[in-house]
């Protein structure tokens, strides 16, 4: 019963966010959430920082992904302190990596890359898990918990990326090629009917590739639908105790899709016909497959979602999620490629009364 309600509620949230995001966020209206004045420049005018919907949905993505991961980990009797350490070690490295890897490959100081962060995460996650369990004195069949923990982290990741791609629609990044530029007539016919059209000169697709108001391959929309669906299926596998299948499904779908989808993308992905991100995706598949072999166990714990749901709603966990949301919102949401000028004026109603 708990499992069914959990899946229905989560599925409904993902559907509503995805539907609204795919339908509305390519438009100019949904790029900036608010402006924050910080320096007066003339009469009634202030230079302002822009807080973006991109940052808001990154914050939602990180928080919801972490929330689902926490519920799954609690369901197999991993304690809050252990979950906190695992996520802390992972986020401390992965969140900055999303910026540094983008700079290293794309030579941009203002961009972020989920692909680069995931690659670093796959490399360090077994170490983060083992160290976290060791520091908290977790001695009971350590190796039998590594695959379930990796599976729960991968589920949180794919759901987070599925939601995070809505932010990409808002900013206009990670965009597909112009439909008219496709050489394959079959693909051109499909995407002529199902596509993404960006409006607004401040969208990255507009200023970087002149794709404003043109039909583009809906790379982000496909990612949103595929990743969220895969995440829900993987949760079902996790609940049933098929941890390896859950981990493999998330890894193969997300990484192989990333590899092939980049051939349909128009944004700069680094030099070479096969980008660094595509190479990372293949390495991720190899690494996760390797992990399932060396950490395989016959004593996996059983998942009990009711335990996870009851355990996650406590002050410590809620405080951690709130801090994570605010940090991600500020770190990824304050635009470094745009600015705004805010003009304050008295309301006409006040002037009339006076």
10 has a pLDDT exceeding 80: yes
Q: Which residue, among 96, 225, 77, has the nearest Cα to 152 in the 3D structure?
A: 77
Least confident of 39-48, 110-119, 161-170, 189-198: 110-119
Q: Which domain holds residue 332?
A: 2-13+57-176+218-342
Report the percentage of the chain scoring pLDDT > 70.
92
Name the more confident of 350 and 305.
305
d(Cα 261, Cα 255) in Å, to the nearest integer?
Answer: 10
d(Cα 176, Cα 167) in Å, to the nearest integer?
Answer: 15
Q: What pLDDT is stored for residue 140 in this prediction?
A: 56
141 has a pLDDT exceeding 60: no
Q: What pLDDT is stored for residue 169 in this prediction?
A: 95
Find the distance separating the first CA and the last CA of the chain, reported in whole Å. Answer: 63
332 inside domain: yes
Q: What is the mean pLDDT of residues 68-78?
A: 93
Q: How many domains is the chain built from?
A: 1
State whether the Cα torsion 120-290-226-312 is positive or negative: negative
Q: What is the mean pLDDT of residues 34-42?
A: 89
319 inside domain: yes
Mind listing the pLDDT tens digit for each residue in 120-132? 888 888 888 888 8
111 has a pLDDT exceeding 70: no
Q: What pLDDT is stored for residue 351 in this prediction?
A: 65
50 inside domain: no
Q: What pLDDT is stored for residue 245 in this prediction?
A: 96
Element (DSSP H or E) covering residue 41: strand 32-42
pTM: 0.89
Which residues make Cβ contacts (< 8 Å) with residue 55, sequence separation at least 6? Answer: 33, 167, 328, 329, 330, 331, 332, 333, 334
Q: What pLDDT is stored for residue 81 in this prediction?
A: 86
224 has a pLDDT exceeding 70: yes
205 inside domain: no
74 inside domain: yes
100 has a pLDDT exceeding 70: no
Least confident of 23-32, 65-74, 86-95, 135-144: 135-144
Torsion of CA 318, 123, 103, 96, to 10 degrees: 20
Q: What pLDDT is stored for residue 135 in this prediction?
A: 81
199 inside domain: no
Mind listing the pLDDT tens digit for each residue in 234-287? 999 999 999 999 999 999 999 999 999 989 998 876 677 888 888 889 999 999
d(Cα 291, Cα 123) in Å, to the nearest integer?
Answer: 10
67 inside domain: yes
Q: What pLDDT is stored for residue 122 in this prediction?
A: 83
80 inside domain: yes
d(Cα 212, Cα 190) in Å, to the nearest integer?
Answer: 20
Q: What pLDDT is stored for residue 347 in this prediction?
A: 76
Judged by phi (left if over 0) then psi (alpha if -120 to 50, else beta), residue 353 lies in alpha
Torsion of CA 56, 12, 219, 330, to 10 degrees: 10
Q: What pLDDT is stored for residue 177 in this prediction?
A: 94
Provide the β-strand partners of residue 39: 47
Mean pLDDT in the chain?
A: 88
pLDDT band of residue 119 (cuts 50, 70, 90) is: confident
Residue 240 CA, distance from chain mean position: 25
d(Cα 167, Cα 224) in Å, to the nearest integer?
Answer: 11
pLDDT band of residue 116 (cuts 50, 70, 90) is: confident
Tell me which residue has tokens 């989560």: 10
pLDDT band of residue 202 (cuts 50, 70, 90) is: very high
Name the more confident of 220 and 316.
220
- Find out whether 85 and 106 touch, Cβ atoms under 8 Å: no
pLDDT band of residue 89 (cuts 50, 70, 90) is: confident
């Amino acid at each position: 019963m708990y499992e069914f309600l959990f899946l229905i509620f989560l599925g409904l949230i993902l559907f509503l966010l995805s539907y609204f995001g795919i339908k509305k966020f390519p438009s100019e209206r949904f790029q900036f959430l608010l402006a924050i004045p910080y320096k007066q420049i003339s009469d009634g005018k202030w230079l302002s920082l822009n807080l973006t919907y991109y940052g808001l949905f990154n914050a939602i993505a990180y928080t919801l992904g972490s929330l689902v991961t926490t519920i799954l980990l609690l369901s197999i009797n991993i304690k809050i302190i252990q979950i906190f350490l695992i996520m802390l070690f992972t986020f401390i490295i992965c969140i900055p990596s999303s910026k540094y890897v983008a700079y290293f490959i794309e030579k941009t100081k203002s961009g972020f890359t989920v692909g680069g962060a995931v690659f670093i995460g796959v490399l360090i996650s077994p170490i983060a898990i083992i160290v976290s369990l060791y520091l908290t004195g977790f001695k009971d069949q350590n190796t039998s918990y590594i695959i379930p923990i990796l599976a729960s982290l991968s589920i949180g990741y794919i759901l987070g990326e599925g939601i995070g791609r809505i932010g990409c629609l808002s900013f206009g990044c990670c965009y597909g090629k112009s439909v008219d530029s496709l050489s394959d007539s079959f693909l051109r016919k499909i995407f002529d009917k199902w596509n993404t059209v960006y409006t607004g000169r401040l969208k990255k697709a507009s200023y970087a590739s002149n794709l404003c108001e043109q039909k583009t391959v809906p790379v982000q929309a496909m990612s949103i639908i595929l990743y969220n669906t895969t995440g829900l299926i993987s949760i079902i596998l996790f609940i049933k105790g098929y941890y390896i299948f859950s981990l493999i499904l998330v890894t193969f779908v997300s990484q192989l899709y990333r590899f092939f989808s980049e051939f349909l993308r128009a944004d700069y992905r680094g030099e070479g016909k096969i980008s660094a991100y595509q190479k990372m995706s293949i390495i991720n598949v190899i690494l996760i497959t390797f992990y399932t072999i060396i950490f395989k166990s016959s004593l996996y714990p059983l998942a009990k979602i009711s335990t996870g749901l009851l355990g996650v709603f406590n002050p410590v966990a809620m405080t951690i999620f709130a801090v994570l949301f605010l940090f991600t919102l500020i770190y990824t949401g304050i635009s470094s490629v745009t600015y705004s000028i805010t003009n304050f004026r008295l309301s006409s109603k006040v002037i009339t009364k006076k």
